[in-house]
Protein backbone atom coordinates (compact mmCIF):
# COMPACT_ATOMS: atom_id res chain seq x y z
CA UNK A 1 0.00 0.00 0.00
CA UNK A 2 1.49 3.32 -1.06
CA UNK A 3 1.66 6.51 0.91
CA UNK A 4 -0.87 9.24 0.37
CA UNK A 5 0.59 12.45 -1.03
CA UNK A 6 1.67 14.80 1.76
CA UNK A 7 1.25 12.16 4.49
CA UNK A 8 4.07 11.03 6.79
CA UNK A 9 3.26 8.16 9.18
CA UNK A 10 4.03 8.74 12.89
CA UNK A 11 4.55 5.42 14.64
CA UNK A 12 3.49 5.29 18.31
CA UNK A 13 2.28 8.90 18.29
CA UNK A 14 1.08 9.89 21.80
CA UNK A 15 0.37 13.59 21.29
CA UNK A 16 -3.33 13.29 20.42
CA UNK A 17 -5.15 14.99 23.27
CA UNK A 18 -8.68 16.22 23.59
CA UNK A 19 -8.50 19.99 23.39
CA UNK A 20 -10.21 21.79 26.24
CA UNK A 21 -10.10 18.89 28.68
CA UNK A 22 -6.72 19.74 30.15
CA UNK A 23 -7.91 22.50 32.45
CA UNK A 24 -10.83 22.27 34.85
CA UNK A 25 -13.94 23.98 33.54
CA UNK A 26 -14.87 27.29 35.12
CA UNK A 27 -18.30 27.71 36.68
CA UNK A 28 -19.23 29.98 33.76
CA UNK A 29 -18.41 27.18 31.31
CA UNK A 30 -20.41 24.71 33.39
CA UNK A 31 -23.40 27.08 33.51
CA UNK A 32 -23.22 27.53 29.75
CA UNK A 33 -23.08 23.76 29.29
CA UNK A 34 -26.34 23.41 31.24
CA UNK A 35 -27.96 26.22 29.25
CA UNK A 36 -26.83 24.74 25.92
CA UNK A 37 -28.34 21.40 26.90
CA UNK A 38 -31.68 23.03 27.67
CA UNK A 39 -31.62 25.02 24.43
CA UNK A 40 -30.80 21.91 22.37
CA UNK A 41 -33.70 20.07 23.97
CA UNK A 42 -36.07 22.96 23.33
CA UNK A 43 -35.06 23.05 19.65
CA UNK A 44 -35.65 19.29 19.49
CA UNK A 45 -32.16 18.58 18.18
CA UNK A 46 -31.25 15.01 17.45
CA UNK A 47 -29.35 13.49 20.38
CA UNK A 48 -30.47 16.16 22.84
CA UNK A 49 -31.47 14.92 26.28
CA UNK A 50 -35.10 15.19 27.34
CA UNK A 51 -35.88 17.69 30.05
CA UNK A 52 -39.63 17.14 30.11
CA UNK A 53 -41.95 14.16 29.99
CA UNK A 54 -45.56 13.45 30.80
CA UNK A 55 -46.02 11.34 33.93
CA UNK A 56 -49.21 9.28 33.66
CA UNK A 57 -49.19 8.41 37.36
CA UNK A 58 -49.28 12.09 38.37
CA UNK A 59 -51.22 13.18 35.29
CA UNK A 60 -48.91 16.12 34.66
CA UNK A 61 -45.66 17.02 32.87
CA UNK A 62 -42.47 16.55 34.89
CA UNK A 63 -39.27 18.50 34.24
CA UNK A 64 -35.62 18.19 35.19
CA UNK A 65 -32.35 20.01 34.40
CA UNK A 66 -29.14 18.06 33.74
CA UNK A 67 -25.41 18.63 34.01
CA UNK A 68 -23.01 15.80 33.13
CA UNK A 69 -25.98 13.42 32.81
CA UNK A 70 -27.00 14.15 36.39
CA UNK A 71 -30.28 15.78 37.34
CA UNK A 72 -29.67 18.96 39.33
CA UNK A 73 -31.64 19.36 42.60
CA UNK A 74 -32.80 22.90 41.73
CA UNK A 75 -36.49 22.53 42.57
CA UNK A 76 -36.44 23.15 46.33
CA UNK A 77 -33.76 20.50 46.67
CA UNK A 78 -35.48 18.00 44.37
CA UNK A 79 -34.23 16.85 40.95
CA UNK A 80 -37.66 16.89 39.30
CA UNK A 81 -40.76 19.05 39.44
CA UNK A 82 -44.33 18.70 38.23
CA UNK A 83 -45.54 21.66 36.20
CA UNK A 84 -48.94 23.01 35.35
CA UNK A 85 -49.83 21.62 31.89
CA UNK A 86 -51.16 25.02 30.86
CA UNK A 87 -48.06 27.02 31.83
CA UNK A 88 -46.11 28.91 29.19
CA UNK A 89 -43.17 26.56 28.54
CA UNK A 90 -41.09 29.24 26.81
CA UNK A 91 -41.45 31.53 29.84
CA UNK A 92 -40.70 28.65 32.25
CA UNK A 93 -37.46 27.66 30.49
CA UNK A 94 -36.47 31.32 29.99
CA UNK A 95 -36.73 31.80 33.78
CA UNK A 96 -34.72 28.62 34.48
CA UNK A 97 -31.99 29.70 32.05
CA UNK A 98 -31.94 33.19 33.56
CA UNK A 99 -31.45 31.76 37.06
CA UNK A 100 -28.69 29.43 35.86
CA UNK A 101 -26.84 32.29 34.18
CA UNK A 102 -27.28 34.44 37.31
CA UNK A 103 -25.45 31.76 39.32
CA UNK A 104 -28.44 30.74 41.44
CA UNK A 105 -27.63 27.03 41.00
CA UNK A 106 -23.81 27.10 41.07
CA UNK A 107 -23.62 24.92 44.19
CA UNK A 108 -25.79 22.25 42.53
CA UNK A 109 -23.80 22.38 39.29
CA UNK A 110 -20.48 22.11 41.14
CA UNK A 111 -21.78 19.14 43.15
CA UNK A 112 -22.89 17.36 39.95
CA UNK A 113 -19.48 18.06 38.40
CA UNK A 114 -17.76 16.65 41.47
CA UNK A 115 -19.98 13.55 41.42
CA UNK A 116 -19.24 12.98 37.73
CA UNK A 117 -15.50 13.37 38.33
CA UNK A 118 -15.55 10.94 41.27
CA UNK A 119 -17.52 8.40 39.24
CA UNK A 120 -15.03 8.57 36.35
CA UNK A 121 -12.13 8.25 38.76
CA UNK A 122 -13.64 5.15 40.35
CA UNK A 123 -14.24 3.57 36.94
CA UNK A 124 -10.64 4.20 35.92
CA UNK A 125 -9.32 2.64 39.14
CA UNK A 126 -11.60 -0.38 39.05
CA UNK A 127 -10.02 -3.65 37.90
CA UNK A 128 -11.11 -4.78 34.43
CA UNK A 129 -14.13 -7.04 34.35
CA UNK A 130 -13.70 -10.60 33.18
CA UNK A 131 -15.22 -11.39 29.82
What pLDDT, on a 0 to 100 scale, did the predictor assign at position 11?
A: 79
Q: Is the pLDDT of residue 95 over 70?
A: yes
User: What total of structural domains would you count in the chain?
Assistant: 1
Specify the pairing of strand 52-55 against strand 60-63: antiparallel
Instruction: Specify the pLDDT at position 18.
Output: 56
In-domain check, residue 59? yes
Residue 15 lies in a domain: no
- What distances in angstroms separate CA 76 from CA 81, 87, 95, 98, one per listed residue? 9, 19, 15, 17
Q: Which residues contact residue 110 at a Cβ distance below 8 angstroms, ignoring those fewer than 6 apart? A: 27, 30
In a domain? residue 14: no
Q: Count CA atoms within 13 Å of residue 93 on its CB side.
A: 18
Name the residue range of residue 53's domain: 27-102
Residue 110 lies in a domain: no
Give residue-wise pLDDT tens across range 50-75.
999 999 998 999 999 999 899 999 99
* pLDDT above 80 for 130: no
In a domain, 67, yes or no: yes
- Does the predicted TM-score (pTM) go above 0.85? no
Amino acid sequence: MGLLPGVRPLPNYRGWKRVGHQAKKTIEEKRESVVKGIERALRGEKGAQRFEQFDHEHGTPVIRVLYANQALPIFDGQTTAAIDPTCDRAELWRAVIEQIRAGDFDREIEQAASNAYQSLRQKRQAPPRAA
